[in-house]
Structure 1
Amino acid sequence: MSVQSERDTPLGPDVWRLAAIIASGAFLSGLDASIVNVGLDTITGELGASLATTQWVANGYLIAMASSLPLCGWAARRVGAGRLWLACLAAFTVASAACALAPDIGWLIVLRVVQGLAAGMLIPAGQTALGQAVGPHRLGRVMATLGVAVTLAPALGPVVGGLVIDVGSWPWLFLLNVPVGVVALALGVRFVPRGQVGDPGPLDRLGLVLLSVGLPVLVWGFTRWGEEGTLGRFDVAGPLLLGVGALAAYGVHSRYSARPLLDLRLFRNRSYRAATFTATFTGAALFGAGLLFALYFQLGRGADPLASGLLLIGASVGTAVALPFTGRLVDRYGGGPLSLLGGLVTVATTVPFALLPLDAGEWLVQVLLFARGAGLAGAVMPVMTSAYKAVSAAQLPDAATQVNIVSRVGGALGGAIFAVVLASALPHGTEPAFRTAFWWLVGASALGTVCAAWLTVAERGAPGPAAPVVAAEAVGGSPSRGSAGQ
């Protein structure tokens, strides 16, 4: 079948079934990153802990997610991406049930760390399994399905969490994951291809230590910077310096290591390099802006946290509506042009927030949020798809891990910068402060758009993507037929 025919062929129900199963894991991972936040006060009271201690129920999860990311590429090659995804989903589901039964705050924090370690690998392992199974020319359409889950889950978390606390008790924040996880696991055992098993070489222990320390510490440093608003404190500057130092040391180590944990030589590929740079800034425009818009509704427009979560859903709905269209267009035209168009729409719909008064009509704010969400669908998902299309199926585990890392670091950095800018400007008035912060968000979105233009140029001169390792016909088949290396 020709490349053009493969792009135009409708995806069969087996492909959509696989995408939906993989998306369920991404949804649970993203939902748990935000659902617990609204229940921290309740957990504090019922478990007799201080709020500072209880905060680690949320922080421990996020840091653990970042810690496990570097191991994902090696583990996916060692056991197969599908097997890794199934193992992580099983661990996440069991840890969720255990969190609900935690007898005290100490055990709850420990179990949340276990849950976060599994959750951190669910998305890149799922992306790898999906990419290897369906092939590069159909990747945009199935990645769009995964993107809907990744986008909607964090936005729904505060709303679902608020409803759970209102009508039930805090253990249900974790028990909600169990039935979804069990069903997804049962379907995954039946339908998810186990993936290609190769020889990843011995585990790069030094690389693992450097990355598993440097990445979460850097993300934590950005978070503390946003909270404190200054780099002059040791608990802010220390983590940032340690994180940057550890990651720089890994860069040197990987250059001289025969089998580094993550292969940084992928950045020699021009299209891949452009896509990852773009993903960094679009991560700030997507994840970093979540904090800014939440504060916009709460501090600027007087909404409570639950109402703020409801008001923010419009942006996620816009993204979810636009993603299926962008997925099909990416398969036909490439990710660069779509990301460039999406970036322009994101910039155009962010500028009004820097110009409008805080009491602007709710209908106008919601229309802008919906349009901005649609623009982000074009700016974010095509970039990730372009990065995965630029590498071979054997390189996909490393690519998925690295793209998720830069996107997460970009989101953390963007959130910190926007929070610092807002906090430093608030003494001069709430409305001028938000205007300034939104102009910074416009700048981050514009940088992502410039990088998308670079990606567009890079893709034009790039060779065609490599053929998939796992035959597309194997999707939906039995594990023994759908997996290499079994």
Structure 2
Amino acid sequence: MTHQAAAVPDKLDANVLKVAGVVVLGAIMSILDVTVVSVALPTFQSEFDATYAQVAWTMTGYTLALATVIPLSGWAADRFGTKRLYMLALLLFTLGSVLCATADTIGQLIAYRVVQGLGGGMLMPLGMTIMTRAAGPERIGRLMAVLGIPMLLGPIGGPILGGWLIEAASWHWIFLINLPIGIIALAYAQFALPKDAAEPSESFDFIGMLMLSPGLALFLFGVSSLPETGTITAARVWATMLVGGVLVIGFVLYSFRPRHPLLDLRLFRNRNLTIASVSLFVFVIAFMGAGLLFPSYFLQVRGESTLHAGLLMAPQGIGAMLTMPIAGMLADKIPVGRTVPFAMALIAAGFFTFTQVGTDTSYLLLCGSLFVMGLGMGGTMMPIMTSALRTLTAHDTARGSTLVNILQQIGSSVGAAVMSVILTSRLNGSAPIPGVDDPRTGEPLTEAGVAIAHQQGAQIPVDPSIIQRGLAFVADSFATTFWVGFALVLLTFIPIALLPRKREVSRLLEDPTGDLPKRPATIIH
């Protein structure tokens, strides 16, 4: 039966913006917390007298918790309602943040970060579901542009905020700052989110959960261990990746049997969702992986402070802020296949500059390139997500956003690990300095190691020419790594070329409660 859609306001009305405000607050907390903590790792080392490998688990534990809980979001949203579950996720994340601030040992901090991740993992897929249902099919692009602001600004604002809080107060405040935001978000959610409608109970896929959640966690654990071990032949890397991969493959083969699988891979029969998901996955590996190294270049090669490195990244955020609202409106009116390739061309143009970096590359050129990349970012990620979700029914939205978020999480982890391994392997090829040993390991220090230590304030008595050679080697290592990232960016053009170039027929009825429809609906334009 064909359903005639009611007229949908062209602009985002006050009720929809109220819902968007709740989701953006949650997204800001969960995304900022990843990058804020990344700049605090050296502080954790000295505070808890721990090694870098130990404190890195404050990041890895959070990521693994995200991977474990995201698959449950789709089923739980259908079973308990998006409002109840979103408020529970906010509460869990805020509680985890307060616990992190009370940690006395590195073990406690890692455990509390896992609690934080269990809440944070549900915030993004649930937020996307809530916003998609609230906006209706004709305004998904504009609403996704609103959600995209914290997603793109998190990597930029995090180092700035983290550096300032640690310098002005203490490391505890990078977690305590979430307490007032969390309380406001909870009160706001109770007021602004529509009441949950009763849903028929679907059976929970325990077999699927026992395969997918541990499988994702083990696979990402192996991937996350790559930078530390430096080789895929380490048992900690290949064994966990193998077991995790087997569990995930087992889930894929099994998931088409139950009526209500934990993750509904049948949704990939939707061509738009499949192409958009592949495009997003390749894009996240390419851009997010290499993007994490931009601040590292400013820190290790140019000797900037964490705060200054964060400020130098700001042009990227400014560029994204300029184009994201425009891209959101265009995504609602023009097929994304006609706009996203142009945005990707801007990213590729800006990215190319970083393949040429040296020890004294002009900041004006680098900041200008970051601004151009930001312009492209604002017109890429959210339009692709819009294309992925636009043609799903209201009932499938929670499952679809869960799929998209899992792919994004895996892509980010794989991209970061691959780029870190390439950079580390390059730096390890630096020449050792005869007679100068590392006081911690007793092994000879390399020219690159001494140069990086010098840029970060350490005073090691060596000839200045050694430091200059080391810096040149480090800069060249970054340039080589950026070449790999640039090649991956170019690879992204292949799936993007398959994005829809004709107007998609929306199947998501405007339904703030999520109670309708239970079957595919066709909207007549």
| Common fold: TM-score over 0.5 | yes
Cα distance in 2, alignment partners of residues 194 and 248 from structure 1 = 38
CA distance in 2, matches of 1:418, 1:50: 22
Is contact 1:193-1:483 (8 Å) kept? Answer: no
Asked if 1:445 corresponds to 2:489, the answer is: yes
Structure-2 change in CA distance of 1:430 and 1:110 (3 Å): closer
CA distances 1:247-289 after superposition (whole Å, capped 9, x unpaired): 1011011022232101101111111110000010121233212
Residue 139 of structure 1 aligns with which residue?
140
Q: Is the 8 A contact 1:20 1:146 kept in 2?
A: no
Give the aligned partner of residue 211 of structure 2: 210
Q: Does 1:87 align with 2:118?
A: no
What corresponds to 1:120 in structure 2?
Answer: 121
CA distance in 1, matches of 2:317, 2:353: 19
Moved more, 261-270 or 320-329: 320-329
Counterpart CA distance in 2 for 1:53 and 1:353 is 31
Q: How many residues align?
A: 471
Written as runs of structure 1 = structure 2, the 5 A alignment for 1:4-403 is: 6=8, 9-47=10-48, 49=50, 51-199=52-200, 201-403=202-404
User: SS in structure 2 opposite 1:436?
Assistant: helix
105-114 or 420-429: which moved more? 420-429
Q: What is the CA distance between 1:119 and its match in structure 2? A: 0.2
Who wins on radius of gyration, i.e. which is larger? 2
Structure 1 partner of 2:450? none
Q: Which amino acid aligns with 1:415?
A: A
> Aligned pair in 2 of structure 1 residues 52, 266: CA closer, same or farther (>3 Å)?
same
Matched-pair contact (CA < 8 Å) for 2:140–2:386: yes
Contact 2:343 2:376 in 1 (8 A): yes
Is the 1:336–1:382 Cα contact (8 Å) retained in structure 2? Answer: no
Aligned partner letter, 2:511: V
Residues 324-367 of structure 1: CA deviation (Å, up to 9, x unaligned):
11111101113222222211211122122223544221011101
Give yes or no for the alignment of 1:434 onto 2:435: no
Q: Distance in 1 between matches of 2:240 and 2:183?
A: 38
Cα displacement (A) at 1:58: 2.5
Q: What CA distance in whole angstroms lies between the structure 2 residues aligned with 1:226 and 1:105? A: 20
**Alignment check: 8 A CA contact 1:337 1:452 kept:** no
**Residue 382 to residue 483, structure 1, CA distance change in 2 (3 Å):** closer
* Aligned match of 2:405: 404
Mark the CA change 1:316 to 1:216 in structure 2 (over 3 Å): closer, same or farther: farther
Against the structure 1 CA distance between its residues 4 and 295, is the aligned structure 2 distance closer, same or farther, given a 3 Å change threshold? Answer: farther
> What are the ranges of 5 or more consecutive residues in structure 2 without an aligned counterpart?
431-472, 517-525
Judged with a 3 Å threshold, the aligned counterparts in structure 2 of structure 1 residues 356 and 157 are, in CA distance, closer, same or farther, namely closer
Do the aligned residues in 2 keep the contact of 1:207 with 1:254 (CA within 8 Å)?
Answer: yes
Q: Cα offset for 1:98?
A: 2.4
Comparing 381-390 with 213-222, greater Cα deviation is found at 213-222
For 2:507, the equivalent position in structure 1 comes to 466
Aligned-residue CA RMSD (Å):
2.3
Q: Assess if the C-alpha contact under 8 Å between 1:326 and 1:382 holds in 2.
A: yes
Question: Is the Cα–Cα contact under 8 Å of residues 287 and 485 in structure 2 kept in the other structure?
Answer: no
Normalising by structure 2, report the TM-score: 0.84
SS of 2:380's equivalent in the other structure is helix
Q: Per-residue CA shift, 1:20-57, capped at 9, x if unaligned? A: 22111001001111212333343444445555433322
After the TM superposition, which of the residue ranges 259-268 and 426-435 deviates more from structure 2?
426-435
Query: Which SS does the other structure have where 1:202 is aligned?
Result: coil
Shift of 1:452: 1.2
Gaps of 5+ in 1: 472-481
Give the match's secondary structure for 1:35: helix
Q: What amino acid does structure 2 have at the position aligned with 1:187?
A: Y
Distance in 1 separating the partners of 2:508 and 2:391: 11
Displacement after TM superposition at 1:5 (Å): 6.8
Deviation larger for 237-246 or 265-274: 237-246
Report the 3-state secondary structure (helix = DSSP H, G, I; strand = E; otherwise coil) of the residue aligned with 1:11.
coil
Match for residue 424 of structure 1?
425
The amino acid that maps onto 1:363 is L
Structure 1 residues 356, 57: CA separation in 2 closer, same or farther (over 3 Å shift)? Answer: closer
Match of 2:440 in 1: none
